[in-house]
Structure 1
Amino acid sequence: MASEVTPTSQQQDVWLPLLQSRLDMWRGVASNDDPQDHLRTIDAELGFLENALSFGKRTRNGMMPACNLPAEVLSHIFALARDVWARKHAEGERTYDIGWICVTHVCSFWRNVALGTPSLWTTIDNCFAIPPGLVPLVQERSSSQPLSLTFDRPTSWGLNDRDIPASMDIWMTETFCSRLRSLKLLNISPEQFEIAWPHFTKFMGHLTHLTLSMDDEGGHNAIIPLPDDICFLIQSSSLHELCLEDCLPFWNPFPFCGTLTSLELIRYFAVNGDFRPTFEHLATVLTSLLSLQQLKLRDIIPEDVPGHCTHPIVLPLGFKSMSYVVQDDVSIGLPFLTHLALPPSSASFIHFSDHSSYLSDEAEVLVTAMPIFYRVGGADVQPVELIVDGDQILIGRCERERRRTWTASIPPSTAYDALYSASPPPGETRVRIYSRSRSSNGRPGPQLLLGHHIIAAPLRSLRAIALSWRSMKDMAANDSFTGLDIARGVRRLGMDLPGSGVLSNELRTMLRESYCVFPSLEIIHVHIGHHNEDSPYCLTEDWETVCMEDAMELADLVKDRKEGGAPLQEIVIEKDMANWAVWDVLRRDVQVTLLDF
């Protein structure tokens, strides 16, 4: 819309006489015409003026930079908006806002581009909520492109079983079915699934993605078995991606098609013995899917895992990422990991969350667990990078140039993140163990921290290590820094400055004219630590005063290493600390580099 501007004399000279002449003409003929005819004439004139004004506004909008973008660029921007624009629905009502469709209300050019971009209309996030009258328009505007349809049944929308067949009849026409490539049935009860599924059986051969999410409305909180005919259709299909949530197949015969590249098995409710896979079932599935690239397992844990690994489950060389989530006792999920052999280039997200039983013997469990986590990427490829942050560790199997990304903290994670967020970079394993120890009075104790447990892992191959303030505090409390003496190949260290004084002092300890901890250390990346919301230092802006003692310990470390014949090559400082005077002291003995991590 045009902004308010003061008319120029030239504009007034042009438009005012023209408008005045038309007004004078209306007044002149008013006495001779029938009043109604006169009003209709004036209305016609005003309508013409409104059309002219609308044309002027469109001309003005067409001169805006956003309207001068090529249509293909604007289409790409709209596609990005479609993927991130939140959809809305009124609570208790079956009304639905597609979200991105708001771009069609901006101007005629944007509207024409949006309506003429078929790919914008190929992904529908809830077909149950789309008004029936819009369905033919979706079919028309999506042209002949492949479709991705989701049928989500939130209970707040009040969708009845009797509504499902009518909705299916509208969507599942021959035209739609022939183009359908991705189908998601979400929050469907067994009864509703039984009603809906016959509409989909005729096009299973076209699908490349299928998600089935069951909702047990009976209150049994139990896994729902997939009917035999559905299992057969899945097994004989050409699916590339399959996600089963709170529903599982019978495991005999082999339940999946060999074309799968992505398999997600997710459980929130209890599963009885008939549907819980045995170790042999899972081993057969994972070794038979030769094209598998992505695997996500949530509480799909066999109870009969062999104690010793004689024949590992070797995943294909093209395998890319795994998410492995266990919400029960940590000790239940560990044995299965010992049998997995992933390609070194793959990424893994391992999440254990022990809310109810606590770790009965924290040290014993983690002494076993740490070497297991190290071997997830293959026993033949030793990790070279390790980041330790509270209850998380990040294990890297290749050393990267991380000048601007090397960090001492890991973003917070949940089991939900592990299933639906992007995986760690290739060649890395991210582990989180959320648990609390039990105090002497039976109440939950402090949250488990992994810092002092890392010494149970084989650290000999490490070239880089980073410790957050929580990890350093935990290691200092447990006198664990001396256990790092085995990591003699570490050349790069990342650390939060607050609380790092104990570590800096430990790095100065010598034995037989050699430094005990990290004798090959060359570079230290120093962080302020305020980026972590759990840090007590994030509440103050006077970081220089708070961290001065630790900064002076770092300065003493730099000077001591130089005098001891093992000088550091570089100290990389977070830019938030750029103006601190202490760095001038360090510059006498080492190069100081400022980076915005």
Structure 2
Amino acid sequence: MSHLLRKRLAELDREIASKRRKLFKLEKTRSAVEAELHAAATYPILTLPVEITTEIFLWLRDLQPLRIPRCRMSGTIAVAGVCRAWRAIALATPRLWSNLRINFDGIEHKVVLKPLWVECFVDKWISRSRNCPLSLDFESRSVLHFTDSRLRHILHRYSSRIQTLSLDIGYRDPRPLRFDWAEFPLLEKVRLLCHSHSDQDVDFPRPMNIFANAPRFRELDMQSSTLDTTLLALPWSQLTKFQGHIKNLDLFTLAPNLVEVKCALLPNEDVFSTTMITHHNIRTLNLDKDCNLIQPIALPSLQHLDIAKMDSHELLEPFLKRSSPPLASLSMQALKGPTGNCFDHLCQCMALVASTLEVVKLCKVPEDLTGISTISGTFPNLRSLQISLRNTDHESGLAKLLDFLYSPRCTLRACKFLWAESPFLDRRAFAGTRRGTHKVDTISGHLARLVKGGMSVYIGTEDKNYLVG
């Protein structure tokens, strides 16, 4: 019996050896076919020049903030993990690692508790940027999650290389970060979001030094619903661009070199000044809410004015009269004047800048387009006009629009008209050409003819230009 079993085992061994030889041949053949395939096939993305691939990576790096660990990856880490070729390109591109965005509040608490784990990660990331200037974007609202001392250590460690800094600390006090203890020789732009817990916290016992050692500091975005920025000991005379909330008009005297300003008053504050303030360098002014800010100031160099909300046009005319600015663009809310026509009242207010005005944007026009033809005669250099209508009286408004655009005095090269709903463009209208002849056509047909003549026309909603379907 045993000799039969030994014979059977020998047969099985021979069969296994035969199968192994066949498997070896199949694997060898497969390897050859795979090598031939890789030699013949190319992946288009891998054939791009390294310079183009690098630019794509640089564009991807800002898509998502970094979460530590294993949450949402930033664009830099994602592309570096695709293949060896991409990883080599990523590691060989210092600029790819010069931007770092971290939400410290999104880091798992057990990871934060590990001594220096987060700091080592930041060091490793920034070490790959070599000597490139840094752009840091940190969000750390909870002092109990990531302490002031740890955040201060990171900021001070790399202060000599920071060029752009964005810091959202919520209701944390910015003073413990001690920006006055560090040198910031490359710092140019700062975005700081912070608030205070109560009105008493706003009254600091002394001005808070912030970025006093930053000779290239030029742009400040200070977003706070309670903190008075003028209580900060900033290098105000260096600033050329400011965005944020203000408590009073001290900004316009503290920062004489400002060129661009976007601001709004702190809640429950009002502007009262018995002295007229003249600022000679501001060229762009954007008021988020309060048009009353222009009442006690004069801006003789102003070129671009954007007023998001106006209760009345009464402040606009005296402001332009005392400033006499070379205003090139105006964006504002259109209000009814004494005659009930917003265009007549607007033209009357803007007579002092009619010779320089090229771009006008009007929002919330409270009526149809009656009186729009007065714009052509008032603004001889107007090139672009955008109007957002509040109502939906499309048919009468569109007919007046055609007459306005066909007018020989119309100097527009581009116009944009926005309705809350889809405009009715299939209605037929009898309208004239610039040569004086008239023709019956649909409104869309008339507008297409104007476009063919060289005018850029947008008419529809925010999402769709119905002229082009």
Change (3 A) 1:28 1:348: same
- After superposition, the C-alpha distances for 1:185-221 in whole angstroms (9 at most, x for unaligned) are 2133235x354x04873334553333321133x4x47
- After superposition, the C-alpha distances for 1:45-102 in whole angstroms (9 at most, x for unaligned) are 98x99999998887678x323222222222122112223x144769xx9944324432
Change (3 A) 1:200 1:168: farther
Q: Distance in 1 between matches of 2:262 and 2:195?
A: 20
* Matched letter for residue 81 of structure 1: L
Alignment correspondent of 2:235: 256
Query: Structure 1 unaligned runs (5+)?
Result: 1-23, 32-37, 268-275, 354-358, 360-364, 384-396, 398-427, 438-447, 509-517, 564-570
Q: Distance in 1 between matches of 2:364 and 2:242?
A: 36
1:321 to 284, 288, 291: 284
Matched, 1:305 2:273: yes
Alignment correspondent of 1:118: 94
- After superposition, the C-alpha distances for 1:514-558 in whole angstroms (9 at most, x for unaligned) are xxxx7x6266779795xx351441xx6xx23x2x12xx1x22x75
* Matched letter for residue 144 of structure 2: D
The normalised TM-score by structure 1 is: 0.55
Change (3 A) 1:507 1:264: closer
State the shift of 1:152 in Å: 0.6
Q: Distance in 1 between matches of 2:128 and 2:251?
A: 43
Q: Distance in 2 between matches of 1:78 and 1:507?
A: 45
State the shift of 1:462 in Å: 7.3
Q: Distance in 2 between matches of 1:200 and 1:54?
A: 62
Alignment correspondent of 1:68: 47
Describe the SS at the equivalent of 1:144.
coil
Alignment correspondent of 1:208: 188
Describe the SS at the equivalent of 2:165.
strand
Q: Distance in 2 between matches of 1:284 and 1:214?
A: 24
Q: How does 1:227-238 map to 2 (within 5 A)?
A: 228=206, 230-231=208-209, 233-235=210-212, 237-238=214-215
Describe the SS at the equivalent of 2:90.
helix
Q: How does 1:335-484 map to 2 (within 5 A)?
A: 335-336=295-296, 338-344=297-303, 347-352=304-309, 359=311, 365-370=312-317, 372=319, 379=324, 381=326, 397=328, 428-432=329-333, 450-459=342-351, 461=355, 471=365, 473-476=367-370, 480=371
State the shift of 1:119 in Å: 1.0
Q: How does 1:208-287 map to 2 (within 5 A)?
A: 208-216=188-196, 218=197, 220=198, 224=202, 228=206, 230-231=208-209, 233-235=210-212, 237-238=214-215, 239-246=217-224, 247-249=227-229, 255-266=234-245, 276-277=247-248, 279=249, 281-287=250-256
Query: Structure 2 unaligned runs (5+)?
Result: 1-12, 112-117, 388-393, 458-469
Percent of aligned pairs with the same amino acid = 14
Q: How does 1:76-91 map to 2 (within 5 A)?
A: 76-83=55-62, 85-87=63-65
Describe the SS at the equivalent of 1:457.
helix
Matched, 1:179 2:161: yes
Q: Distance in 2 between matches of 1:116 and 1:215?
A: 40
State the shift of 1:369 in Å: 2.1
Alignment correspondent of 2:17: 28
Q: Distance in 1 between matches of 2:180 and 2:363?
A: 54
Alignment correspondent of 1:137: 124
Q: Distance in 1 between matches of 2:81 and 2:164?
A: 29
State the shift of 1:348 in Å: 3.5
The normalised TM-score by structure 2 is: 0.67
Change (3 A) 1:528 1:341: closer
State the shift of 1:486 in Å: 5.9
Q: Distance in 1 between matches of 2:127 and 2:243?
A: 33
- After superposition, the C-alpha distances for 1:217-252 in whole angstroms (9 at most, x for unaligned) are x4x478845674632x43454222223222334559
